[in-house]
Amino acid sequence: MPDSTATPDSLTATSAPSKLPYRGRFAPSPTGPLHLGSLIAAVASYLDARNHNGTWLVRIDNLDPPREVPGAADSILNSLRQHGLHWDEEVLWQSQRGPAYQRALGQLSSSTFQCDCSRGELGPNGDCQRGCRLRQQAPVTPCATRISVPENVSIQFTDQLQGQQNIALGQSAENFLIHRKDGLYAYQLAVVVDDAHQGITHIVRGSDLLDTTARQQFLQQALGYLTPAYCHVPVITNAQGQKFSKQNLAPALDSETAVLNLRTALDFLSQPHPPDGLYEPDSLLAFAANHWSPHLIPGVMSISA
């Protein structure tokens, strides 16, 4: 659980990111249009990058064709542009990154095993508990690839907002999925390979992803990558306490009200109020980047709308 004693300004997951030029990113999954919840994450990562004179990238996490909504990626990119959130390099599409993920699987092969368990056979954390790892020969049926986590592995990092994290990963995840039975690569693997490929030094994203970070750091270490600095900002929830998401039918943002939407996102992040009279997204964001104050963001996991 988050430790609220952390100093919010100490962004020091490892010393490496602070020595490298800042590179941040926003990585939406194209499962629907941009909504307020995703705008907040985009704005936070954008402003943090701009405030550090850094580079800000956009990656489309279209790893999972069955979940992809046709037209959603273009709609998200258009919405980002209309909100003045301009990225600095070409958009990276996960759908084109298969060979890189395959190479990473190869690199990890000494710690992975094939598993043909059905969903119902997996343990409560989604781990294989049936001993597939000990099989001499992989079954001929389609198999998933899992990575073994030694029992004594623990991951420690300081999240800029959520504080010191100590996760006994070997206890909570004995093994986890990196390549699915249906041939799709798992999010944990793809995100790590892509962040390294793009030289990402700072990851600012929603706190709903905090609990994926230990698995990602484990993979970064196994692949010999640097670990970026992390900052997990609170996510907005509806009256029922559910995250604003495409699944919960969060309304698409209206680009006609881009400035208002941005002001709402800044308010949510408890940032200084931009003066009246800033009528364009670009001028509003320039003010917000200059006055970016991550220590003002509430260090909680979620806030109800």
Task: Catalog residues that contact ligand GLU under the rule CB under 6 A.
Answer: 27-29, 61, 191, 205, 209
Residue closer to ligand GLU (CB basis): 113 or 244:
244
Residue closer to ligand GLU (CB basis): 41 or 258:
41
The residue count for the chain: 305
Shortest Cβ 41–ligand GLU spacing (Å): 7
Shortest Cβ 114–ligand GLU spacing (Å): 26
Shortest Cβ 100–ligand GLU spacing (Å): 16
Q: How far is CA 290 from CA 50, 161, 293, in A?
A: 8, 20, 9
Q: How far is CA 284 from CA 2, 118, 256, in A?
A: 32, 51, 15
> What span, in angstroms and rounded, lies between the C-alpha atoms of 300 and 128?
32
Shortest Cβ 26–ligand GLU spacing (Å): 7
Shortest Cβ 175–ligand GLU spacing (Å): 21
Which residues lie below 8 Å from residue 281, measured CB to CB, with a gap of 6+?
82, 83, 84, 85, 258, 259, 262
Instruction: Determine the residue with CB nearest ligand GLU.
Output: 61
Shortest Cβ 245–ligand GLU spacing (Å): 9
Shortest Cβ 22–ligand GLU spacing (Å): 16
Residue closer to ligand GLU (CB basis): 29 or 75:
29
Residue closer to ligand GLU (CB basis): 191 or 266:
191
**Residue carrying structure tokens 């900052």:** 231
User: Per the structure block, which two tokens stand in for 166?
Assistant: 């100590």
| C-alpha dihedral sign at 165, 168, 173, 176 | positive
Residue closer to ligand GLU (CB basis): 14 or 283:
14
Which residues lie below 8 Å from residue 81, measured CB to CB, with a gap of 6+?
none
Residue closer to ligand GLU (CB basis): 128 or 210:
210
Residue closer to ligand GLU (CB basis): 115 or 191:
191
The closest alpha carbon to 269, from 243, 231, 241, belongs to 231
Residue 38 φ/ψ region, left for φ over 0, alpha for ψ in the -120 to 50 degree band, beta for the rest: alpha
Residue 303's DSSP bridge partners are 236
